[in-house]
Amino acid sequence: MHAPTTDLTDIRVRTATPEDGDTLVELISLVDLQLRAEDLPGALDPMRYALTDSDDGPLSHRRNHFLIAENGEGVPVGAIACGFAKWMSDRNRSPVIMRRKLVERISTVHGLAVVPAYRNQGIARTLLRHAEDTFRDAGYTVMTLRHDRSLTKFYGRLGYTSHNRLSMTLPTGELLSILDRGWKHAFKLLSPAAAITTVQGMPTITGALPD
């Protein structure tokens, strides 16, 4: 694609529609999902299904929020996909009793991508800020994500704290600790109700879930 220097004011961010299925999958496929080649083709299908969910918000698609960035000609140049994290519905990783609270207060970025010709112009930052604002307004307390080591600085500049584990104290007093080999976890507080403390040497989120 021709590489124009775009004025950020020319970029429009809009919520994705069911017709954006291919566009969204194509854009989010720019993320290295660290999957085996044979698992790749269907890996983003759940995103397509989620796009058909109702969008009577605060989020664009029930528990998911999908945004597309378009250039001045209406061509999609970036996307962000957020929703609940897989570990929230895994009984081996988080207590079942906490599931609803987790899903209603904590969101995760499943993918953030900008087409190469439009990178380094602030489009990813804009998409992330839009998504964070929406989740904050919807009462979410923390945004989380997993990222490749090479992006630690990138997310750090956007206000994210990165560590090997995602660590959080639950209202039950338990310590939730999520580890995914090969990834770093990052989080950003969206609400003054939540805070960061150090537990067992790890930056740990407290106060993210209501008692």
Ligand X SMILES: CC(C)(COP(=O)(O)OP(=O)(O)OC[C@H]1O[C@@H](n2cnc3c(N)ncnc32)[C@H](O)[C@@H]1OP(=O)(O)O)[C@@H](O)C(=O)NCCC(=O)NCCS
Determine contact, residues 81/110, Cβ cutoff 8 Å.
yes
CA-CA distances (angstroms) from residue 56 to 15, 112, 161, 166? 12, 23, 32, 31
Applying CB under 6 A, which part among 17-25, 115-123, 171-179, 188-196 lies near ligand X?
115-123
Of residues 26-85, those binding ligand X (CB under 6 A): 30-31
Site membership for ligand X, residue 125 (CB under 6 A): yes
Among 14, 23, 122, 165, binds ligand X (CB under 6 A): 122
Among 147, 167, 185, 208, binds ligand X (CB under 6 A): 147
Applying CB under 6 A, which part among 3-11, 49-57, 153-161, 164-172 lies near ligand X?
153-161
Among 59, 68, 114, 166, binds ligand X (CB under 6 A): 114
Among 60, 71, 108, 121, binds ligand X (CB under 6 A): 121
Tell me the closest approach of the beta carbon of residue 125 to ligand X, in angstroms.
3
The amino acid that residue 12 corresponds to is R
Applying CB under 6 A, which part among 11-19, 44-52, 114-122, 194-202 lies near ligand X?
114-122
Applying CB under 6 A, which part among 34-42, 106-114, 182-190, 195-203 lies near ligand X?
106-114
Mask for 155-194, x = binds ligand X (CB under 6 A) = --x-------------------------------------
- Interface with ligand X by CB under 6 A: which residues? 30-31, 111-114, 119-125, 147, 151, 153-154, 157
